[in-house]
Structure 1
Amino acid sequence: MGMFSRMTDIVQANINAMLDKAEDPEKVIRLIIQEMEETLVEIRSEAAKFLAEQKHLDRQLQRVNKEVTGWQEKAQLAIDKDKETLARAALAEKQRYAQQAESLQQQHDTISESLAQLQGDTGRLNEKLAEAKAKQKAMVTRQHSASVRLKVKAVEHSDKINHAMARFDQYEQRIDQLEAQVDAYEFTGSATQPHSLDAQFRALEENDAIERELNAMKKNKAA
């Protein structure tokens, strides 16, 4: 009966409370599942023994009840033949077999009750096992999710990432400087070209004025 007590403890156990108190919930839930599965194996073995014994008792009861009926018929036959002593002996045999039948029936009832209890507890144990496996699956999923998130956070706070981002900023600044130089050349080129043309035309005009003044001075001297 130790197995029944052990199984009752498992069925009545609060899995959540056990996990809350555990230092390593994953290990605890694995051990709980292992314990339940091992208990179920023992239950099947025990149930097989009970069923075999129940069939054996059925055969014995059938035989003993047949003897009870047979001795009852013999006692009746003896009475019909006015054989009271023989009838008394037949009834004594009937009583002996009836007592055997009562004892066998009590054993049969005990085994039937045990099988009924076993079946009920097995159903509850299977429910607990399903609950434990669901919790184990949820824990594995949560652990995987937490591990992935931890990796992401580690990457986000990695010095390599910060260094790479700083390098990107430097490259971007260098590109900005190059683009600024190109823009400056375009700006000064477009501004100096018209200015240079004006200067050339003014130089031509100044040269013409000088030539005219020089010619005038030559004419005055010749006169």
Structure 2
Amino acid sequence: MIVGDPGRAELLSNLLDSPKLVNKNRGFLVYTGEFKSSKVSIATHGIGGPSIAIVFEELLMLGGKTFVRLGTAGALRPEIKLGEYIIPSGASYNPGGLFFQYTGDLTSVSAVPDYDLASALVNELGREGYKYTVGNVFSSDAFYAEDENFVKRWSSRGNIGVEMECATLFFLSKLRGAKSAAVLVVSDNLASGGEWISREDLEKSVINAAKSILTVFSKL
């Protein structure tokens, strides 16, 4: 499981049996332990595509094969409520920058999660009775580049949320033959005035999602 915030990695390490901090270089905390007798790592991937790309590549080199991002997203539809979940079925992205460097041209690579892994997450969250929406998200490279037309522009293209890393994770998983998916907690809603979730409610939703993700890992 990979998360953006090192504090979140530290918090979620408490869900593991005998967690061990195996990396703290540059603040990219990585904990390894067990969950229901399955060996699992919780790693920090930082903010944005370039950051998660580095962490993904290095975890892959160390033997990682299955990756689930647990993060946050801003909803682009008013009916999606704070604290609920978005399970991405795909991620839109701007084709330049990092993506261009990997492909060498503007050829598009479909940024979609592994179907079986995403389906397992859908089933597990549904079994727990959590409210989720499955749909496409937009992976933005610039957190503060939003303008007054942002919500209309990206929601009109079929996106239900915005975050910063899923497209890179799914894109690289396709290139490298790894499996990946994501579960995103709705931390704010850009379509209904930009309201934000409380810290307590966010933490509760994150912990619940983490337990579901770890359960899916234990069944793989």
TM-score bracket, normalised by the shorter chain, equals under 0.3
| Greater relative contact order structure (CA < 8 Å, 6+ sep) | 2
**What is the TM-score when the length of structure 2 is the normalising length?**
0.19
Higher strand share: 2
Larger radius of gyration: 1
What is the TM-score of this pair, normalised by structure 1?
0.19
